[in-house]
Amino acid sequence: MLLTLTNTQPPATDLGFLLYKHPQRVQHYPLSFGTAHVFYPEADAARCTACLLVDVDPIDLVRGKATATGGGLLDQYVNDRPYAASSFLSVAIGRVFATALSGRCADHPELVNRPLPLVAHLPVVATRADEGFVPALFEPLGYRVEWQRLPLDEQFPDWGHSPYVALTLSATVTVKTLLSHLYVLLPVLDNAKHYWVGQDELEKLLRHGADWLAGHPEKARIARRYLRHQWSLAREALARLDVVEEDAPDATPPEATTGESVTASDLASITVEEAAVEAPLSLNETRIRTVIAELEAAKVQTVVDLGCGDGKLLSRLLKEQRLTRLVGLDVSVRALEIAADRLRLDRLPQRQRERIQLLHGGLTYRDARIEGFEAATAIEVIEHLDENRLAAFERVLFQCARPKWVIVTTPNVEYNVNYPFLPAGQLRHPDHRFEWTRAAFETWGQRAAATFGYGVRFAPVGTVDPAVGPPTQMAVFARDDGRGDDA
């Protein structure tokens, strides 16, 4: 299988620096399923083409762990894997162009973020999808897409079409971005993976799609196909696309200086224009800071984070030495595992370790483990509960756990008109059971407060649109007895 990348921006041989492969040399890379070769059929100042040729050895495939197509014995030896661009090519890109894919260029760092007029050509791409899927994947990313369905057999045209296309993508784009698009979308087109898909793949999808996937109109199909139709992983991917921020547990908040860098986080919840023009922080970061400020003002020392997800708020709260006890509760074991990782629970010194605990549990059943805290937070959680379970959640929270302070945030559905990628009427992500207007949220909050003996105030989170309000809305409840001043 073959991929060529052509740069026509003089000096075109900059492509060599960016790919970290010398244009004058042929280089070979052993892979578990064959060998990758990189060479340049042309390399001058005006035009430079790098070629990645992946030689898949079908015998290696059968001997190794990789199941090529999941078919019968003959199918294991005779199949399209050596010839058609697929997840094998993605793996090869990940290995051979790892430096470029991660946006590093030691010799010329200034080149990394420079968009170049690039053309990627793939003579054979496995495409198990309807005709429209090829442009639907690449056009929203800004490519001019040329593709041609290949015949099953050139000598017998009446045999019809094959599941392969010849594909050419052209755009002015950075090398890193182009590679990340191919890395994710080739297996999506193929709809088959040669290796087991698990949590690792989900993380890879989010990492390589960080700058563009959240805003892609086909993100649901991309996630499902990339993750081999493992619905729980795909659902998690889509949910996290909306909230995922930094990869590393201690990463500093992203400073968004351009639209492109802010898309690393929360494209589904923040428009590029907003990011570029006025928002130095992503919505998610704004939300976290707002909640931390409320907890600080309330001078609480103990907090339970309900529906803590992958622990982003907790990891920030852990740094606040004033807080002596932190608990995160979530129904998703996977989310808790990621949280444990983010918080480095297994490496925390004893004293820190005693301050924090993660609990597996549901929010609509009474749970003594969440009682006795000064504050509870439920950040972007209620919209994940079925509306008919909300009353149970209210009792669990306000009647049983009964903290002095409760902070709840949820999307403001009115703001959705500002998301160019969201079709009218569609919620921000698939797991949302509802999204409320400001009036609906306030009605809910007032009623809950009155029922359970709390006072409540409402505040916007994120840039307020004069017509439709803020992207996120927050309610801060204070237990009536002594306006939250004593336990």
Give Cα 205 distance to the centre of its chain.
7
DSSP string over 271-314: -HHHHHHT-SS-HHHHHHHHHHHHHHHTT-SEEEEET-TTSHHH
Angstrom distance (rounded) from CA 262 to CA 244: 12
Q: How far is the CB of 177 from ligand SAH (least distance, A)?
A: 26
- Non-local (6+) Cβ contacts of 153 within 8 A are 159
Binding of residue 45 to ligand SAH (CB under 6 A): no
Q: How far is the CB of 84 from ligand SAH (least distance, A)?
A: 38
Binding of residue 384 to ligand SAH (CB under 6 A): yes
Angstrom distance (rounded) from CA 115 to CA 175: 7
Query: Which residue stretch of 129-137, 293-301, 330-338, 415-423 sits at the interface with ligand SAH (rule: CB under 6 A)?
Result: 330-338
Number of alpha carbons in the 13 Å side-chain half-sphere of residue 299: 4
DSSP H stretches of helix in 126-230: 133-138, 175-190, 199-208, 219-226
Q: Tokens in use for 312?
A: 């982003």
Query: Which residue stretch of 189-197, 212-220, 308-316, 446-454 sits at the interface with ligand SAH (rule: CB under 6 A)?
Result: 308-316
- Non-local (6+) Cβ contacts of 398 within 8 A are 406, 448, 451, 452, 454, 477
Binding of residue 266 to ligand SAH (CB under 6 A): no
Task: Report yes or no: 161 and 110 within 8 Å, Cβ to Cβ.
Answer: no
Binding of residue 282 to ligand SAH (CB under 6 A): no
Query: Which residue stretch of 21-29, 381-389, 447-455, 466-474 sits at the interface with ligand SAH (rule: CB under 6 A)?
Result: 381-389
Query: Which residue stretch of 51-59, 149-157, 263-271, 375-383 sits at the interface with ligand SAH (rule: CB under 6 A)?
Result: 375-383
> Smaller CB distance to ligand SAH: residue 216 or 384?
384
Q: What is the dihedral of CA 220, 224, 225, 229, to 10 degrees?
A: -160
Q: Out of 18, 43, 243, 275, point to the residue binding ligand SAH (CB under 6 A).
A: 243
> Smaller CB distance to ligand SAH: residue 177 or 332?
332
Q: How far is the CB of 343 from ligand SAH (least distance, A)?
A: 13
> Smaller CB distance to ligand SAH: residue 209 or 328?
328
Question: Within positions 49 to 108, which residues make up the interface with ligand SAH, using CB under 6 A?
Answer: none
Binding of residue 385 to ligand SAH (CB under 6 A): yes
Residue nearest to ligand SAH (CB): 309
- Which residues of 363-415 form beta strands (DSSP E)? 375-379, 405-411
> Smaller CB distance to ligand SAH: residue 335 or 476?
335
Give Cα 409 distance to the centre of its chain.
21
Binding of residue 339 to ligand SAH (CB under 6 A): no
Residues that bind ligand SAH (CB under 6 A): 239, 243, 307-309, 312, 330-332, 335, 362-364, 379-381, 384-385
